[in-house]
């Protein structure tokens, strides 16, 4: 959301609910978001206005209720809302939904569920032309791409592209993907995955991430190699991260982001030319916690 509106502010009144004050178009968020069930403009005070009714009556609609805490019956609420809308109902493929989230209070929004159907299953690792156990699932890949802040038409780089998981999602959001990997098996595999889904990437290059053969990109996101299923060609994870940040500092312009996923045991720390905007920690098992570090390029 901050990609479309840098001044957006957020409030989380309870778990699983995020309320944003923003000028961004809801459709632009719905078409990119990975881990939200529904996105849309909230009804003021839970009251259907004339514009809300017009939208719900244009085409077909359905009423969708998500219960976060309450176990009470929502049949009466749904019936009252349906009477107010008085439109054409389609439970399978509605053009719009009147979404009700029932938690500590009720939240109402007009949403477009079809925009959020992103064909995640179609692009899952096992469904691709080339598979490797290190491949990342589409929703998680989209998360990394979104954190990078890349916009449609901008250049997105994954310097450890592997099977092309992040490149597939970057292309889905309209960016111009570039992939680098040291191993020809991976670059060929990534290219075959690109071709299967009919995407148009700038390039997928066999190259060493310690010497990235590029002069400028708009965003970088990657999962640096570590663990038994990844090949590091003799380099330890800390050295790989250090080299990547050094290379990124020369090809990212001020204000643009490097997003890197790495083991929590490898600390990004303070880096010349970068500001650490945020870190997300994802426990995998007892001995491994993944960390996503978001670094923004700034003047030295």
pLDDT at 228: 47
pLDDT at 44: 85
Q: Which residues of the chain have pLDDT under 70?
A: 70-72, 227-235, 300
Instruction: Decide if 147 contacts 223 (C-beta within 8 A).
Output: no
Query: pLDDT, tens digit, for every residue of 269-283?
Result: 888 899 999 999 999
Edge-to-edge strand order for the sheet containing 288-297?
203-206, 176-181, 155-158, 219-223, 257-263, 288-297, 274-285
202 burial type by CB count under 10 A (0-12 exposed, 13-18 middle, 19+ buried): middle
Residue carrying structure tokens 């999962």: 223
pLDDT at 235: 61
The separation between the first and the last C-alpha atoms of the chain, rounded to the nearest angstrom, is: 28
pLDDT at 283: 92
What pTM was computed for the model?
0.91
pLDDT at 260: 97
Query: pLDDT, tens digit, for every residue of 183-201?
Result: 999 999 999 999 999 999 9
Domains of the chain: 9-116 (3.30.2300), 121-297 (3.40.50.150)
Instruction: Decide if 30 contacts 112 (C-beta within 8 A).
Output: yes
Q: How many helices (H) and strands (E) does the chain have?
A: 7, 13
Instruction: Decide if 57 contacts 50 (C-beta within 8 A).
Output: no
pLDDT at 292: 97
């Amino acid at each position: 959301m901050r990609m479309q509106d840098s001044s957006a502010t957020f409030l989380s009144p309870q778990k699983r609910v995020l309320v944003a004050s923003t000028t961004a178009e809801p459709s632009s968020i719905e078409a990119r978001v990975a881990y939200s069930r529904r996105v849309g403009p909230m009804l003021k005070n839970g009251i259907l206005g004339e514009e809300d009714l017009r939208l719900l009556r244009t085409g077909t609609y359905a009423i969708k209720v998500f219960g976060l805490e309450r176990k009470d019956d929502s049949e009466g609420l749904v019936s009252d809302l349906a009477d107010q809308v008085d439109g054409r109902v389609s439970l399978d493929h509605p053009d719009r939904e009147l979404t009700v989230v029932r938690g500590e209070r009720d939240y109402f929004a007009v949403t477009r569920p079809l925009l959020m159907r992103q064909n995640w299953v179609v692009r899952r690792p096992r469904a691709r032309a080339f598979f490797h156990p290190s491949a990342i699932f589409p929703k998680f890949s989209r998360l990394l791409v979104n954190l990078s802040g890349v916009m449609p038409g901008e250049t997105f780089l994954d310097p450890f592209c592997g099977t092309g998981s992040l490149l597939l999602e970057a292309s889905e959001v309209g960016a111009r993907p570039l992939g680098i990997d040291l191993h020809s098996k991976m670059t060929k595999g990534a290219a075959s995955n690109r071709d299967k889904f009919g995407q148009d990437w700038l390039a997928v290059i066999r190259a060493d991430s310690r010497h990235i053969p590029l002069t400028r990109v708009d965003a970088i996101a990657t999962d640096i190699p570590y663990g038994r299923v990844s090949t590091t060609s003799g380099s330890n994870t800390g050295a790989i991260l250090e080299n990547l940040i050094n290379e990124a500092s020369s090809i990212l312009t001020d204000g643009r982001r490097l997003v890197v996923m790495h083991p929590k045991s490898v600390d990004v720390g303070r880096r010349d030319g970068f500001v650490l905007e945020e870190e997300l920690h994802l426990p995998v098992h007892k001995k491994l916690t993944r960390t996503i570090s978001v670094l923004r390029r700034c003047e030295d």
